[in-house]
Amino acid sequence: DTEVTQTPKHLVMGMTNKKSLKCEQHMGHRAMYWYKQKAKKPPELMFVYSYEKLSINESVPSRFSPECPNSSLLNLHLHALQPEDSALYLCASSPGIVRTQYFGPGTRLLVL
Amino acid sequence: ILNVEQSPQSLHVQEGDSTNFTCSFPSSNFYALHWYRWETAKSPEALFVMTLNGDEKKKGRISATLNTKEGYSYLYIKGSQPEDSATYLCALGPLIQGAQKLVFGQGTRLTINP
């Protein structure tokens, strides 16, 4: 299996909802990442996990809560989001934290 | 704040023609430069990662060069085909807190006209 999968593909949520985004890879990669891409902008890094431990948090608001339950799975828990959080959320993984990153297709999130 | 610039923003090329575009970045504290191809509704696809000044990489009809001293990389596509239509992103990969943080340019949107 040589791909990064993300579910769901699309998500619509209200500002009071709690939802989670899921990312999975079975390539044995030990680093996983969350990026956010707003329309017509490049992807921006949110979080880096290395060996299931949070390595970098790019000053992301606490309404976004990452979780890495095991080496293959990365979640992003969402709570009390704002409409401006609507974006494409991309997950990536890499064999190590200084190697090529392989991306999933993203979850397109709309916050109403 | 690291600034990665790509030019042009968009490009229309006739099928069969060759083309190239540019990624510019600050040359200080360089670690790695990545190129990705991103087709609509698909995952960004890793094309190349380059680390050394003068690096040249090739994958089929696509090749890339790197000049870390002057802070630029070129991506070349030879004999463009309709399937080359995509957004091409470059990303600078500095080491921060022991991890490689990708800082992306805005991308070059390439359209191949049949």
The more confidently predicted of residues B47 and A1 is B47
Smallest Cα distance from B10 to chain A, Å:
12
Read off the tokens for A103: 């991306």
Pick from A34, A3, A7: nearest CA to A108: A7
pLDDT at B87 exceeding the cut of 90: yes
Residue with tokens 């309404």: A63
Task: State the pLDDT at residue B53.
Answer: 92
Task: State the pLDDT at residue A46.
Answer: 97
Q: How many beta-carbon contacts under 8 Å exist across A and B?
A: 62
User: In angstroms, rounded to a whole number, what is the distance separating the alpha carbons of residues B14 and A35?
Assistant: 34
Q: Which of A1-5, A37-41, B63-67 has the lowest mean pLDDT?
A: A1-5
Pick from A19, A29, A34, A31: nearest CA to A79: A19
8-state DSSP, B1: -
Residues paired with B24 in a beta bridge: B5, B72
Q: Which residues of A touch B44 (CB under 8 A)?
A: 43, 90, 103
Task: State the pLDDT at residue B47.
Answer: 96
Average pLDDT over residues B40-44: 91
Read off the tokens for B22: 């540019």
Q: How confident is the model at residue A1 (pLDDT cuts 50, 70, 90)?
A: low
Pick from B51, B44, B31, B45: nearest CA to B95: B31
Cα Rg for chain B, rounded, in angstroms? Answer: 14
In this structure, the strands spanning A10-13 and A107-111 are parallel
* A12 three-class SS: strand
Task: Determine, for residues B96 and A41 on separate chains, whether the beta-carbon distance falls below 8 Å.
Answer: no
Task: Determine, for residues B95 and A90 on separate chains, whether the beta-carbon distance falls below 8 Å.
Answer: no
Task: State the pLDDT at residue A95.
Answer: 87
Residues paired with B99 in a beta bridge: B96
Task: Determine, for residues A101 and B34 on separate chains, whether the beta-carbon distance falls below 8 Å.
Answer: yes
Task: Determine, for residues B105 and A100 on separate chains, whether the beta-carbon distance falls below 8 Å.
Answer: no
Average pLDDT over residues A38-44: 92
Average pLDDT over residues A42-54: 93
Task: State the pLDDT at residue A92.
Answer: 95
Q: Each residue of B55-82: pLDDT tens digit?
A: 999 999 999 999 999 999 999 999 999 9
Pick from A16, A30, A56, A41: nearest CA to B105: A41
User: In angstroms, rounded to a whole number, what is the distance separating the alpha carbons of residues A55 and B51?
Assistant: 23
Best of B3, B31, B102, B104 to substitute, by most chain A Cβ atoms within 10 angstroms, is B102
Q: How confident is the model at residue A40 (pLDDT cuts 50, 70, 90)?
A: confident
* B112: Cβ contacts below 8 Å, ≥ 6 apart: B13, B14, B15, B80, B81, B82, B83, B84, B85
Percent of chain B scoring above 70 in pLDDT? 99
**Contact yes or no for B81/B13 (Cβ under 8 A):** no
Task: State the pLDDT at residue B71.
Answer: 94
pLDDT at A96 exceeding the cut of 90: no
pLDDT at B110 exceeding the cut of 90: yes
Task: Determine, for residues B102 and A101 on separate chains, whether the beta-carbon distance falls below 8 Å.
Answer: yes
- The closest CB to that of A55, out of B89, B93, B99, belongs to B99
Q: How confident is the model at residue B31 (pLDDT cuts 50, 70, 90)?
A: confident
- The closest CB to that of B104, out of A42, A55, A99, belongs to A42
